Amino acid sequence: MIHRLFGQRENLAPNYIILGLLCAFAVIPILILGFNSLKSNLELGENSVGFPRQFQWSNYPDAWEQGGFAVTMTNSVIFVVGTVTGVVVLGGMAAYALARLNPRGSNLYMIYMLSLSTIPFWLYAVPLFILWKNLSLLNTRFGLIVIYIALNSPFAIFLLRSFLVKFPPDFEDAARVDGATEVQVLTKVVLPIMWPGLLTVALVVALGVWGEFQIALIFMQEDEKMPLTTSYFNFMRRFSRDWSLTAAGAIMMILPVLIIFMGLQRRFVEGLTQGGLK
Amino acid sequence: MTANPSIQDTSSRRTSFLGKGLEVRRGLLAWAFIVPITLVHLVVVVGPGISGLYYALTDWSGIGKAEFIGLGNFVELFTEDLNFRAAFRHNLFWMAFFLTVPMIMALSAASLLAQIRRGAMVIRSMFYLPYVLPSIVSAFTWSMLLNPSLGIGAALDKIGIKGLDHPWLGDFRTALASIAFADNWHWWGFLSILFLTAMQAIPVDLYDAAKMDGANRWQQFRNVTLPGIRPTILFMLLMTAIWSFLAFDYVWILTQGGPSGASELVSSHLYKQAFLRFEAGYAAAIGLTVSLMAGCIVGGFTILRRRGWEI
């Protein structure tokens, strides 16, 4: 009996075969994208999925130039930084208040937040567009960032609140007994505790904004203020036959994401797993 | 959200040593912290959401005065707008696809992955990778790979595997399914990691007991794994059903609803009405209809749960 339980190892070969095939399915398209970004158009015609025979590195500066990446990448960075700052500061304040200061009606507020985050975007997209037009916020960086902050903050508040609730408030109370003001408690005690949670939120929000397409498509229609995604959409349609160029553009867009993904994998996986359930 | 007992405890303890005046001041401070983000929400989501209910009842171009026409938009939507009807059918296909294909892929991948140790982290990251890419990049990649003359099909054709060099996105019979395939490529791996995380919370004893009873791997999956991650599966089924009415990116990037409406989804139809034809009132009516459908799904789910279905 014991022999059957512990002695006999299960045969894991089928697991590895199927998992290997699934890995190939996930990764090979990205590899082909990378290969194609280094081919000449001529080579791409006859060798459309294989390893490049000759590296044409000039695709990258060409795509950078023709796709206006210097401008759009700056725009995307502005959107990411603005949104992350807004979500972390405003969402963090709200999460702290809800987890620690126990205002009346905080449970009701959480229910409000929960239902709010399930309202479909298409219900308010058109009225929001009109409102933004009337407020002259359409095609402004500030206007787009405000929308991103609003849509990302429910998730941030949930995550940060549940993160804070896990820690007992003893440190804060001890600081208060020692005569610290509420502001000091917040900056000296709470912030260091919340730090990992804030970093996770920042990472998930940054990734979301970096790749966001549909809201930018609607609310930012001036070329020189577009983020990477929608500007790349135009670039891709303009150079629809020049795939080595557009592939190089795509690689430049995902390179920062890939580098951060490799570096902070664990936090990424944790954050997104929680974020996916927002 | 149920009240967390530990919060209740600390609050009563605090009142005792902080005194009444301080408690009131902290209550004010709390709301001062909550108000800013709440204002942002109200302006972006709640306000427009409510005014959308009104616009849905008007004929309006977005400029000037909206003309109240009662349920006129909905009458047109359900009786005359054949494009909407087609788009709605496509959304049902989309939902059926995403409730099955990624679910099956993710469940099998996660259960296979849960059994191994060596290389598990690497495989996990690979599954995850497509999910972190922007939708525009994965959509572009697949528009390249599905191209009949320069994609995978053409490459396979050269080595003798015929018949796959089909204009997947250009043929009205395959366009919608191809877009769903591309969207699923970036989604299933993430889903499998969600399931894996849930599976890892199942106590090992349950598997040991099942093995003791002579259960094979399929029986273990059927009787231990599936019941163990049931809440996660049901939650993701619910979210998938809701999201499938909102899907937009992949369709817009790859075909914009074409060829000749074959891949039109409700969202792309709405986008065209609102931002290309400037039918703001009509688009608001579509938005409301879609939201009500999503609401019905959540409502149905909640009712089944109340009736004692263990979901």
Other residues' Cβ atoms within 10 Å of the Cβ of residue A221:
13
**pLDDT of the residue at A275:** 54
B48/A146 Cβ within 8 A: no
What ipTM does the predicted assembly reach?
Answer: 0.88
Contact A15/B at CB under 8 A:
yes
With b for 16 or more beta-carbon neighbours within 10 A and e for fewer, the A76-108 pattern comes to bbebbebbbebbbebbbbbbbbbbbbbbeebee
Q: Cis (ω within 30 of 0) for the bond into A103?
A: no
Longest dimension (CA), chain A: 77
Residues 20-49 of A with CB under 8 A from B: 22-23, 25-27, 29-30, 32-33, 36, 44-45, 48-49
Q: How many CB pairs under 8 A join A and B?
A: 281
Give the number of C-alpha atoms closer than 13 A to the C-alpha of residue B137, restricted to the C-beta side.
Answer: 29
**pLDDT of the residue at A71:** 94
- Contact (CB, 8 A) for B114 and B120: no
> Which domains does chain A carry?
10-56 (no CATH), 61-275 (1.10.3720.10)
Q: Residue A228: its chain B contacts at CB < 8 A?
A: 134
CATH superfamily of B73-306: MetI-like (1.10.3720.10)
Sign, CA dihedral B166-B170-B176-B180, equals positive
Torsion of CA B235, B236, B237, B243, to 10 degrees: 120
Least CB-CB distance to A126: which of B127, B132, B283?
Answer: B283
Residues 240-279 of B with CB under 8 A from A: 242, 245-246, 248-249, 252-253, 266-267, 270-271, 274-275
Query: B2 pLDDT exceeds 50?
Result: no
Q: How confident is the model at residue A95 (pLDDT cuts 50, 70, 90)?
A: very high
Token code pair at residue A233: 């959409």
Contact A108/B at CB under 8 A:
no
Q: Residue B30: its chain A contacts at CB < 8 A?
A: 97-98, 101-103, 106
A99/B29 Cβ within 8 A: no
pLDDT per residue over B255-286, tens digit each?
998 788 899 999 999 999 888 888 888 999 99
pLDDT per residue over B65-105, tens digit each?
778 888 888 988 888 888 999 999 999 999 999 999 999 99
Contact A187/B at CB under 8 A:
no
Least CB-CB distance to A276: which of B194, B245, B294?
Answer: B194
Domain boundaries, chain B: 73-306
Q: Residue A16: its chain B contacts at CB < 8 A?
A: 116, 119
